[in-house]
Amino acid sequence: MRLLLLTIDFPPARGGVQHLLARLADGLAQEHDVSVLTHCHPQAREWDRLRPYRVLRSRVVGVRSLDLVWLGLRALVEILRLRPDVIICGHVLLGPVCDLAQRQFRIPYIAMAYAYEVRAPRMRGIAGFTLRRARQVVTISKFSRQAVMAYGIPGTRVTVIRPGPGVNGDVDLDPSAPDHSGGSGGRMLLSVSRLADRYKGHDMVIRALPLIRAKVPDTRYVLVGDGWLRPYLERLAASVGVRDAVTFTGEVSEAELDAWYRRCDVFILASRESASGGGSEGFGIVFVEANLRGKPVIGGRSGGIPDAVLEGVTGLLVDPLDVGEIADAAVQLLTEPSLAARLGAQGQQRAQDELSWRNYVSRFDQVVKSMVGTWDSRGGK
């Protein structure tokens, strides 16, 4: 089958969605004729050269709305040229052009739904349009499925496929691999995320740190990632007397990230749902990444995190606004090595098995195939 993936997020730009779509395209290309249409990127040439499928790039001028319109026009041209059997709509903003193709050329489309874009109040109009018209919606967690169904879309048209770890290539999973983090001993809690969204809950982990250190005094908290919240979080750590126990690494390379994952004792991201505004975790690929390295995880009981963290199986869930509960969970995993090891091992198993990209692609493939079937029967009337 000929498949066309339209997306505004695609590598070499970094991010969870970018990674997911690349793994999807990689996987689908093994069986189908895949084309991807996305924005230009300065380092795109090298990356695109290594893909086993066509990557088409639309020009950008740096103005978001203009770039989007340009991508839409280019999409129309490519749809006419390529005549795909199915279009995968990588972002709700691209819904109108997909809908046009569906109505004019009877090319059905699958809409991808993640989290923020379907919950943000200012996206309601376009998200509702794209999702309602889509023949199928594929999303990442039960939480996001609820958000999609809130637009009045029947559950039968929404499929949850949980994404896998956001790691490129094969990870050396030998737990005795050397430590590159330059750590200075002691126990380590690790978070990985941009420091740009309050809802990620770094603040509450920092506030819990004095309580954790009261019981496990050599505990450090390492925050990998950067963003405008960093100076605030640094001052926050100082305000509760733990500045020396908190490390901000800034942006790191894939190799360094891998080293931090290996080096930590517990991975933690106590994300919360903001009372409104749509800020929340849609799934939390970082939990799976940590699990993949055999690490136990702690997640905030919010958004799609319960899909990424199986309570008592791959990690622990906490009330993200309760510093006492955050501290208790961290202390438990830092002081009960057998529990930590068991959760880590079970998490690793799940990451390699149920949440493998192989599994993701094959389930997605079923959606693609089922959809074409129904279309043919209708088209035959």
Measure CA 40 to chain center.
Answer: 22
Q: In what order do the strands lie in the sheet with 315-318?
A: 246-250, 219-224, 187-192, 266-269, 297-300, 315-318
User: What residues contact residue 369 under an 8 Å CB cut-off, 6+ apart?
Assistant: none
CB of 317 vs other proteins, minimal distance in Å: 16
Sign of CA dihedral 107, 115, 196, 121: positive
Asked if omega into 12 is within 30° of 0 (cis), the reply is yes
201 binds other proteins (CB under 8 A): no
Region from 144-152, 204-212, 343-351, 361-369 binding other proteins, contact rule CB under 8 A: 204-212
| 275 touches other proteins (CB under 8 A) | yes
- Considering only 66, 173, 177, 214, the residue that binds other proteins (CB under 8 A) is 214
Interface pick for other proteins out of 12, 15, 183, 277 (rule CB under 8 A): 277
Single residue of 41, 57, 133, 215 touching other proteins by CB under 8 A: 215
d(CA 175, CA 181): 14
Q: How many residues bind other proteins (CB under 8 A)?
A: 28
- In the stretch 114-143, what mask flags binding to other proteins with x, by CB under 8 A? -------x----------------------
| Interaction of residue 63 with other proteins, rule CB under 8 A | no
Q: Which is nearer to other proteins, 12 or 210 (CB)?
A: 210
What's the burial of 249, exposed, middle or buried (CB within 10 Å: 0-12/13-18/19+)? Answer: middle
- Buried b / exposed e over 207-228, threshold 16 CB at 10 Å, is bbbebbbeebeebbbbbbbeee
* Ramachandran angles phi, psi of 7, nearest 5°: -155, 150
Stretch that binds other proteins, among 203-211, 219-227, 287-295, 351-359 (CB under 8 A): 203-211
What is the nearest approach in angstroms of other proteins to the Cβ of residue 229? Answer: 8
Binding of other proteins by 216 (CB under 8 A): no
* Per-residue interface string for the shown chain with other proteins, residues 279-298, x marking contact by CB under 8 A: x-------------------
Answer yes or no whether residue 33 interacts with other proteins by CB under 8 A: no
Residue 276 engages other proteins in binding (rule: CB under 8 A) = yes
What mask of x and - would describe binding to other proteins in positions 296 to 325, judged by CB under 8 A? -------------------------x-xx-
| 81 and 89 Cβ atoms separated by less than 8 Å | no
Query: For residues 293 and 295, what is the distance between their CA atoms, to the nearest angstrom?
Result: 6
Q: Which stretch binds other proteins (CB under 8 A): 20-28, 49-57, 125-133, 235-243?
A: 235-243
Residue indicated by tokens 């689908």:
28
**Structural contact between residues 367 and 138, judged by C-beta atoms closer than 8 angstroms:** yes
In the complex, minimum distance from the CB of residue 84 to other proteins, in angstroms, rounded to a whole number: 38
User: Assign residue 303 a region: left if phi > 0, alpha if psi is -120 to 50, beta otherwise?
Assistant: left
Three-state DSSP at 337 gives helix
Contact 113, 131 (CB under 8 A): yes
Which residue, 218 or 354, has its beta carbon nearer to other proteins?
A: 218
Residue 133 or 215 with smaller CB distance to other proteins: 215
Q: Does 184 contact other proteins by CB under 8 A? A: no
What sign results for the dihedral spanned by CA atoms 99, 101, 105, 106? Answer: negative
Task: Establish if 244 lies at the interface with other proteins (CB under 8 A).
Answer: no
Closest to other proteins by CB, 276 vs 338, is 276
Please, where are the H alpha helices in 228-303?
230-239, 254-263, 285-292
Interaction between residue 207 and other proteins (CB under 8 A): yes
Residues found near other proteins in the complex (CB under 8 A): 121, 198, 203, 207-208, 210-211, 213-215, 228, 231-232, 235-236, 238-241, 274-277, 279, 321, 323-324, 328
